[in-house]
Amino acid sequence: MKATTRWVRFRSPDGGIGIGTVHGATVAVHAGSLFESPLPTGASLEMADVRMLAPCVPSKMVALWNNFGALAAKLGKQPPVHPLYFIKPATCIIGTGDAIERPASYAGKIAYEGELGIVIGKRCKDVAADDADDHIFGYTCVNDVTAADILNETPDFAQWCRCKGFDTFGAIGPAIATNIDLSQARVITRVAGVERQNYPLSDMIFSPAELVSRISRDMSLLPGDVIACGTSVGVGSIRDGAVVEVYIEGIGSLANSLRPPAP
Amino acid sequence: MKATTRWVRFRSPDGGIGIGTVHGATVAVHAGSLFESPLPTGASLEMADVRMLAPCVPSKMVALWNNFGALAAKLGKQPPVHPLYFIKPATCIIGTGDAIERPASYAGKIAYEGELGIVIGKRCKDVAADDADDHIFGYTCVNDVTAADILNETPDFAQWCRCKGFDTFGAIGPAIATNIDLSQARVITRVAGVERQNYPLSDMIFSPAELVSRISRDMSLLPGDVIACGTSVGVGSIRDGAVVEVYIEGIGSLANSLRPPAP
């Protein structure tokens, strides 16, 4: 297996946007596109001096429903025969440290869902499962934020795209880790410091390779697109002001607070 | 009211991509971005010499369900209290003359839905209905193509994004018409030359201004984004090889054939 690398995207002290690899408390700055073998410039920055951004700029997020055995069992759902998903728009993406903004129009429950995110590295169309790994750049943490009361507000149309598509409702980061072994990894979600989710990725119904393959038969996936692999048990709500952290070993901790609208 | 203009995007005989305004059988070529007051270059091309492209490059299409009174009445649905929509990804967009491609994995019914499309001209976030017109660049025709058998394939999750998100399933064009009066306009859909839909835009439940305003309170809309306003009665299926035309007076005729997979 190749060495693991953790890629970040950041705003540097001079205001510019950069990318680089994480080495302890420093970032080795790289030049070029993340998906076209960027090269180190030789410069490095202290992590403490940069503002982290979403580690990539997806054209869309494809987000799974009912993709973990434990949650399916709890909800009494059969495992699906094909990945079941909705789309979150690019306009909902934020990075670690950014606030999740409560919409001015919505006073109801806002839920966190800690998830693994697959970051696409090469355009995918009708990719075989055996070739999918070549199209995956790496993995990130996702918080698939949801305005939960909207989903079933009307009886005849589940509003997946609306309740999950608000600006700032797609948190990704802090890094994209390449070449990591996910077989033993767990997704851990903490809200205001209290652990609320801790589930193994080995319980996933469709593996990352299968997701990329099958979704690529529906729609082209572009470099930087994110597939959010679905969540498992322990989903709950976020109080205004609370910080949600989604942690996966090898990737890091994605932390976002829920900000109420200005009075 | 300002003069109506019909904007097109095209591939010219030299292979480059251009934009321009339609004047009879010629296009007056313009330079610059469509949404930033492009200027005429003085050059003109014969329409017959250019290949039409989708008239803009949306970052997403927001597509309405249950937005016409006649279809709601036919299906026994109550008018919604908020626009009900799903998202079609940018990767599904095609222009007039492009083929709708039947997915290799899908042998079932493929449906047309002729619709009005709103093209956003300025970034919208929390726009008031009274200000919405300032954010609308113009209008286009939409064929919201659907792999109909997939929608309710599984009982507990309606697959809106999947059944409508296949590459080539979002046809828009042929032009974007600015400053048109839609109060008397009708959407006419013909399949293999036979009229299958002919419904008035005056039957729309949420008007274009209301759609832009309300959706912009959910998610930011970007220049070039398209809101497909929903369809009315007369939806049906397309046989392989048949041409579907969606016509709205003042905009023109969007024509696409359904191409089966190569054997």
Q: What is the pLDDT along chain B (263 residues), one digit of tens a residue?
A: 578 999 999 999 899 999 999 999 999 999 999 999 999 999 999 999 999 999 999 999 999 999 999 999 999 999 999 999 999 999 999 999 999 999 999 999 999 999 999 999 999 999 999 999 999 999 999 999 999 999 999 999 999 999 999 999 999 999 999 999 999 999 999 999 999 999 999 999 999 999 999 999 999 999 999 999 999 999 999 999 999 999 999 999 999 999 999 87
Average pLDDT over every residue of A129-140: 98
Query: pLDDT tens, A64-103?
Result: 999 999 999 999 999 999 999 999 999 999 999 999 999 9
- Looking at beta carbons, which residues of chain A come within 8 Å of B65? 157
A60 pLDDT tier (thresholds 50, 70, 90): very high
CA–CA separation, B70 and B201 (whole Å): 11
For chain A, what's the residue count? 263
A145 pLDDT tier (thresholds 50, 70, 90): very high
Burial of A183 (0-12, 13-18, 19+ CB in 10 A): exposed
At residue A186, does pLDDT exceed 80? Answer: yes
CB pair distance less than 8 Å for A86 and B89:
no
Shortest Cα–Cα distance, B244 to chain A (Å): 22
| Closest chain A residue by Cα to residue B161 | A86
Residue A262: per-residue pLDDT: 85
CA–CA separation, A247 and A196 (whole Å): 12
Looking from the CA of B47 toward its CB, the CA atoms found within 13 Å total: 12
CB atoms near residue A144 (< 10 Å):
28
- Looking at beta carbons, which residues of chain B come within 8 Å of A167? 125, 219-220
CA–CA separation, A170 and A89 (whole Å): 9
DSSP H or E stretch at residue A71? helix A69-75
Interface pTM (ipTM) of the complex? 0.97
Q: Which of A231, A213, A229, A245 is nearest to A97 (CA)?
A: A245
- Looking at beta carbons, which residues of chain B come within 8 Å of A153? 82
| Residue B91 DSSP symbol | G
CB pair distance less than 8 Å for B166 and A81:
no
3-class DSSP state for residue B29?
strand
| Closest chain A residue by Cα to residue B156 | A77
Q: Is B19 left (phi over 0), alpha (psi -120 to 50) or beta?
A: beta
Residue B1: per-residue pLDDT: 59
Angle at B229 between CA B26 and CA A107, to 5 degrees: 140
Shortest Cα–Cα distance, A70 to chain B (Å): 17
Backbone angles phi, psi at B220, to 5 degrees: -65, 140
Q: Is A196 left (phi over 0), alpha (psi -120 to 50) or beta?
A: alpha
Q: Which of A206, A182, A189 is nearest to A68 (CA)?
A: A206
Backbone angles phi, psi at A124, to 5 degrees: -120, 130
CB pair distance less than 8 Å for B219 and A92:
yes
Residue A1: per-residue pLDDT: 59
* Inter-residue contact A6 to A21 (CB < 8 Å): yes
Average pLDDT over every residue of A218-224: 98
By Cβ distance, the residue of A81, A167, A220 closest to B91 is A220
Please, what sign has the CA dihedral across residues A204, A208, A212, A214? negative
Backbone angles phi, psi at A71, to 5 degrees: -70, -40
CA–CA separation, A160 and B161 (whole Å): 10
Angle at B187 between CA B141 and CA B82, to 5 degrees: 80
Beta bridge partners of B88: B61
pTM (two decimals): 0.97
Residue A179: per-residue pLDDT: 93
CA of residue B229 relative to chain centroid, distance: 8
